[in-house]
């Protein structure tokens, strides 16, 4: 960045207030100063509540009551945005200053094709351009963001696009006028890890081609590290630190930043978790849950044919064993089948074929009464803290519900149990008579946990249970799970998309892709010597501030996973695999043993020299 670079945006002393009910005012942003130069990517990070969303919206002059700007100026190419009359501001917006938010699905009118909407915007901000020219330009940019079959997708509706694809469309919408500045507010948050990595890489390339400055707002330093030249740290409405990215990570100046970096969960540089379960010999430990070749598919209506149905193969033959005392992590992205698997494991649905053995009994074939008895021993915890507990029952009643269902205890005994359990999970006893309306997400999850724990189960399946919580709450609950495990000897199955959490907690990891298990290995092996290219791709895409052993260039995937409706023959990952060879097109690989207890479903394991490209050795940088 040369010192003579043009300044696109100069913010000086910006302050924004929030008007509260009753006339009081709360300060949201205080004396913000920042500058963005031509062709620069500036990252802004902050925790939830730091004011970063308000900042990103104010930068495009999008404040509405109850928020109000109380001071400062934002100079775009020297012109103060606040001084501009509304119609001039309108001209700038959309044309020279663009904004992309974090909710791609609801950004466009769902009833009009996307191409038409982009043309509509183009013709509004550049009056005089003909429809034909607008369409041609749009198609060019659609091509630039690497959307397959752009001419066809031009006419499709927003709901026909996946999250990642829709984000690309919105990027097209933003860049089609060649703006000087693009504000990207948390755009990768709703996306899967590999898709987000693609978007980040795309944004970097586009930024060079279109010569656009980008302000990238996020709550994760790891993501910002991937894309930003400089970083600004926002805390409590103030700019706390501002440095080039690498410098900030290596030598943070402000205490807040230092604490932040300190508390980030490490994947690569972390200490290994205690390998006690890994090393013990197989056979000497009890298998508490055994899943054998489980399959499940759904029928949906085929809109193409007159009366036909299509088969969505959600789970296509999954097998694994869970040993007593284990923490098994099941990871995967959208469409991998892990949500269906969790429904099968908790017997909300029965598999089409295969067996699920809980301590030797096949729960997929049990009758009602026996199933009820068995339910006391294994439970499932769900993700959404706001909907997982009924809103119309008190906390105490919700927690005691399972005791009512299974019966056998007197009222007094029931309430004793409820009180003990509430105490154990860290809920204050006064909450027993309250409705869940006022509780925080963390407290609600504790109610969820208490409800499951009150039956004293032996196996707990946690389906994205911590995903909706912030870092601090997650940490507290993970400690709670550890305590419960030590005290009661519970086995856990964590279904999650958060690899850093899995790295910290799980001693065995199963990676799912398109309804199958791609890799099943111990923690160490999964992260440092994975046998399946998808695992490597996944790990390379996880944003981190440490040096990654897997380079995105080698492993980055293109495109999206194939539809679970039309799965190609052979290995289902072959279409995106950088290491595929002829055998992959014909044979569907099964889980092959690699180490003592590690498996990978990939032909590379036993192909030897037949494979044109072997998996490169993993460069592990250990300090």
Q: Show contacts with another protein in window 508-527 (CB under 8 A).
A: none
- Start-to-end CA distance of the chain, whole Å, equals 32
Query: Which CB, 187 or 584, lies closer to another protein?
Result: 187
- E strands along 472-531, which residues? 491-496, 508-513, 516-522
Size of the site for another protein (CB under 8 A): 81
Q: Where are the alpha helices (DSSP H) in 176-220?
A: 193-210
Do residues 598 and 520 touch, judged by C-beta distance below 8 A? yes
Least distance to another protein, CB of residue 1, Å: 28
Least distance to another protein, CB of residue 112, Å: 8
- Cα(229)–Cα(246) distance, rounded to whole angstroms? 8
Establish if 429 lies at the interface with another protein (CB under 8 A). Answer: no
Tell me which residue has tokens 């410098």: 247
Partners of 327 in the beta sheet? Answer: 492
- Cα(492)–Cα(325) distance, rounded to whole angstroms? 7
Least distance to another protein, CB of residue 244, Å: 27
Whole-angstrom CA distances from 91 to 81, 86, 543 are 12, 9, 36
Least distance to another protein, CB of residue 174, Å: 8
Among 196, 206, 336, 380, binds another protein (CB under 8 A): 380
Contacts of 206 (CB under 8 A, 6+ apart): 144, 145, 171, 175, 212
Establish if 121 lies at the interface with another protein (CB under 8 A). Answer: yes
Among 283, 438, 608, 617, binds another protein (CB under 8 A): 438
Least distance to another protein, CB of residue 473, Å: 13
Q: Is 183 helix (H, G, I), strand (E, B) or coil?
A: strand
Query: Which CB, 27 or 524, lies closer to another protein?
Result: 27
Least distance to another protein, CB of residue 405, Å: 5
Triad 265, 270, 273: Cα angle to 5°: 105
Establish if 90 lies at the interface with another protein (CB under 8 A). Answer: yes
Query: Which CB, 396 or 570, lies closer to another protein?
Result: 396
Establish if 127 lies at the interface with another protein (CB under 8 A). Answer: no
Among 39, 53, 188, 445, binds another protein (CB under 8 A): 53
Establish if 469 lies at the interface with another protein (CB under 8 A). Answer: no
Query: Which CB, 49 or 595, lies closer to another protein?
Result: 49
Taking the CA of residue 305 as centre, how many other CA atoms within 13 Å lie in the half-sphere pointing to its CB?
Answer: 7
Among 390, 489, 568, 612, binds another protein (CB under 8 A): 390
Q: Which of residues 442-461 bind another protein (CB under 8 A)?
A: 448, 451-452, 455
Tell me which residue has tokens 């031509």: 38
Establish if 379 lies at the interface with another protein (CB under 8 A). Answer: yes
Tell me which residue has tokens 């308000």: 54
Establish if 155 lies at the interface with another protein (CB under 8 A). Answer: no
Whole-angstrom CA distances from 544 to 285, 500, 556 are 35, 9, 15
Establish if 371 lies at the interface with another protein (CB under 8 A). Answer: yes
Backbone CA torsion sign across 422, 428, 430, 431: negative
Least distance to another protein, CB of residue 507, Å: 25
Establish if 585 lies at the interface with another protein (CB under 8 A). Answer: no
Least distance to another protein, CB of residue 541, Å: 26
Q: Which of residues 274-333 bind another protein (CB under 8 A)?
A: 301, 303-307
Contact pattern from residue 398 through residue 417 relative to another protein, giving x for each residue in contact according to CB under 8 A and a dash for the rest: ---xx--xx-----------
Establish if 21 lies at the interface with another protein (CB under 8 A). Answer: yes
Do residues 57 and 18 touch, judged by C-beta distance below 8 A? no
Region from 33-41, 279-287, 430-438, 545-553 binding another protein, contact rule CB under 8 A: 430-438
Query: Which CB, 105 or 317, lies closer to another protein?
Result: 105
- Cα(444)–Cα(453) distance, rounded to whole angstroms? 14
Helix (H), strand (E) at residue 8: strand 7-19
Do residues 38 and 213 touch, judged by C-beta distance below 8 A? yes
Establish if 20 lies at the interface with another protein (CB under 8 A). Answer: yes
Contact pattern from residue 173 through residue 212 relative to another protein, giving x for each residue in contact according to CB under 8 A and a dash for the rest: xx--x-----------------------------------
- Cα(155)–Cα(483) distance, rounded to whole angstroms? 55
Six token digits for residue 158: 């927003």
């Amino acid at each position: 960045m040369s010192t003579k670079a043009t300044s696109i945006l100069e913010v000086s002393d910006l302050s924004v207030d929030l008007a509260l009910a009753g006339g009081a005012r709360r300060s949201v942003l205080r004396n913000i100063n920042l500058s963005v130069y031509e062709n620069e990517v500036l990252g802004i990070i902050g925790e939830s509540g730091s004011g970063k969303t308000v900042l990103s919206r104010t930068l495009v002059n999008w404040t509405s009551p109850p928020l109000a700007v109380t001071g400062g100026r934002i100079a775009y190419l020297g012109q103060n945005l606040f001084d501009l009359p509304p119609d001039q501001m309108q001209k700038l917006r959309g044309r020279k200053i663009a904004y992309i938010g974090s909710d791609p699905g609801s950004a466009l009118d769902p009833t009009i094709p996307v191409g038409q909407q982009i043309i509509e915007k183009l013709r509004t901000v550049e009056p005089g351009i003909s429809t034909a020219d607008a369409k041609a330009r749009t198609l060019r940019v659609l091509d630039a963001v690497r959307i397959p079959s752009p001419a066809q997708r031009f006419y499709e509706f927003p709901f026909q696009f996946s999250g990642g694809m829709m984000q690309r469309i919105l990027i097209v919408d933003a860049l089609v006028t060649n703006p000087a500045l693009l504000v990207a507010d948390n755009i990768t948050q709703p996306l899967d890890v590999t898709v987000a990595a693609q978007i980040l890489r795309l944004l970097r390339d586009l930024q060079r081609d279109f010569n656009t400055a980008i302000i990238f707002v996020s709550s994760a330093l790891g993501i910002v590290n991937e894309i930003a030249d400089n970083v600004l740290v926002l805390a409590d409405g103030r700019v706390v630190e501002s440095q080039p990215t690498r410098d900030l990570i290596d030598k943070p100046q402000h205490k807040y930043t230092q604490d932040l970096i300190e508390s980030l969960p490490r994947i690569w540089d972390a200490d290994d978790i205690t390998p006690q379960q890994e090393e013990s010999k197989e056979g000497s430990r009890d298998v508490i849950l055994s899943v054998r070749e489980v399959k499940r598919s759904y029928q949906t209506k085929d809109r193409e044919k007159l009366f036909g149905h299509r088969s969505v193969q959600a789970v296509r033959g999954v097998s694994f064993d869970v040993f007593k005392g284990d923490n098994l992590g099941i990871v995967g992205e959208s469409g991998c089948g892990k949500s269906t698997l969790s429904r099968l494991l908790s017997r909300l649905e029965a598999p089409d074929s295969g067996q699920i053995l809980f301590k030797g009994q096949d729960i997929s074939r049990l009758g009602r009464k026996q199933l009820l008895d068995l339910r006391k021993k294994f439970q499932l915890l769900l993700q959404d803290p706001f909907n997982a507990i009924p809103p119309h029952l008190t906390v105490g009643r919700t927690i005691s519900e399972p005791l009512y269902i299974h019966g056998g205890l007197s009222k007094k005994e029931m309430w004793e149990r409820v009180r003990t359990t509430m105490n154990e999970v860290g809920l204050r006893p006064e909450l027993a008579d309250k409705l869940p309306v006022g509780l925080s997400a963390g407290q609600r999850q504790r109610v969820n946990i208490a409800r499951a724990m009150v039956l004293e189960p032996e196996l707990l399946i946690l389906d994205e249970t911590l995903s909706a919580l912030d870092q601090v709450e997650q940490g507290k609950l993970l400690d709670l799970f550890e305590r419960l495990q030590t005290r009661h000897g519970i086995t856990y199955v964590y279904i999650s998309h958060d690899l850093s959490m899995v790295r910290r907690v799980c001693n065995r990891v199963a990676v799912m892709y398109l309804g199958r298990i791609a890799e099943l290995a111990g923690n160490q092996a999964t992260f440092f010597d994975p046998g399946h290219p998808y695992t490597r791709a996944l790990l390379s895409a996880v944003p981190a501030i440490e040096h990654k052993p897997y380079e995105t260039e080698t492993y980055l995937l293109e495109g999206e996973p194939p539809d679970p409706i039309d799965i190609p023959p052979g290995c289902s990952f072959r279409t995106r695999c950088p290491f595929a060879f002829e055998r992959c097109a014909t044979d569907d690989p099964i889980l092959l043993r690699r180490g003592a207890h590690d498996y990978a479903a990939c032909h590379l394991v036993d192909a030897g020299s037949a494979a044109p490209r072997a998996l490169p050795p993993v460069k592990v940088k250990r300090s």
